[in-house]
Amino acid sequence: MKKKSLLGQTLLMLAFTVLCVLFIMPFVLLVSVSFSKEADIAMNGYKFWPENFDLSAYSYIFKNPTTILNAYKVTAFYSIAATVLSLFLQSLMAYPLSWGRMRGRNFISFFLYFTMLFSGGMVPTYILLTQYMHLDNTIWIYIIPGLISPWNIFMIRTFFNSLPYEIYESSVIDGASEFRIYLQMAMPLSKPVLATLALMTFLGKWNDWNTSLMYIDNSELFSLQYLLQKILKDITLLQQMEESGLGMINAAQIPSETVRMAMAIVVAGPALVIFPFFQKYFVKGMTVGSVKG
């Protein structure tokens, strides 16, 4: 039995090792292409090690560093602010819904669920945010819309329900208020689900480019994703002009594939740094509600 168990564990470790290599290889290829010359990629294709180490792609992206750094600051600010505010408001709403003593909790839960089935539509949403709330061309357009997610509220509520009731009962006997119980007892014990939702919310905000496209005209408020997309569109436009004979420079001198890969590295960098800090909570938080009884 021990030999069979050891053999099974060895095969499992080998399988996971192969999977890890398969997951890492595309990222290594991404980094390699971003540091390669455009001519080498055009002639020899992608390789896991650059034939000639070159920084042209990064030089093209950062030729105006002030614009990139400003987009980084804007994106980092609204991503962090939206994540913190979203978790606070959603957990604040989920806490009373997790206990049966709250009146009307079933109606409120149904109302939240109902909003998941229908939406106002893109045009009414645009009119509401621009004509009535006047959030266009402000940093708040990134933060306020989408602060509350019914799905996230239900996840946090489920986790609150799984906490021992005796903890809350003893806190009430000691004279703690409901807000203090929520802030000092429920929130610290709910780190797995909060960390999971924080990571998902942050990545969603960090990768958002559609908001800038629809609501932002001020270049100082462009998100990083939208700014990099504009750079890529400019490259495509220059290549099309060159192909039609209207360009002023050689199309071979315009980095295209290498810039795409470099843009992916620039965008993914912060997420790669943040993920390890949330990893230990991520698996437990994703299994919220999977086990009953």
pLDDT in tens, the chain (293 residues): 566 677 778 888 899 899 888 888 888 888 888 888 877 777 777 788 888 888 888 887 777 778 888 888 899 899 999 999 999 999 999 988 887 677 888 888 888 888 888 877 888 888 988 999 988 899 999 999 888 889 999 989 888 888 887 877 787 787 878 888 888 888 888 888 888 888 889 888 988 888 988 898 888 888 888 888 887 777 766 666 666 665 555 555 566 777 778 877 887 777 777 776 666 665 554 455 444 44
pLDDT of residue 86: 94
The tokens for 221 are 């408020």
**Residue 75, domain member (yes or no):** yes
Give residue 119's identity as a one-letter amino acid code.
Answer: S
What's residue 142's pLDDT? Answer: 92
- How far is CA 246 from each of CA 16, 236, 237, 252, rounded to the nearest angstrom? 53, 13, 11, 15
Q: What pLDDT shows up at residue 238?
A: 64
Task: Indicate the pTM of the whole model.
Answer: 0.77
The reported pLDDT for the residue numbered 63 is: 78
Residue 201 forms part of a structural domain = yes
- What pLDDT is stored for residue 255 in this prediction? 67
192 close to 284: Cβ distance less than 8 angstroms: yes
pLDDT of residue 44: 75
Q: State the Cα torsion 3-9-11-17 to the nearest 10°.
A: -150
Asked whether residue 111 is domain-assigned, the answer is yes
- On whether residue 34 sits in a domain, the answer given is no
Per the structure, the complete domain to which residue 109 belongs is given by 66-220
Q: Tell whether 11 is covered by a domain.
A: no
User: Residue 96 sits in a domain of what CATH number?
Assistant: 1.10.3720.10
Q: What pLDDT was estimated at residue 83? A: 92
- 70 within a domain of the structure (yes/no): yes
Task: Confirm whether 47 is domain-assigned.
Answer: no
Number of domains in the chain: 1
* 191 within some domain: yes
Q: Residue 289: its pLDDT value, please?
A: 46
- What pLDDT does 280 receive? 64
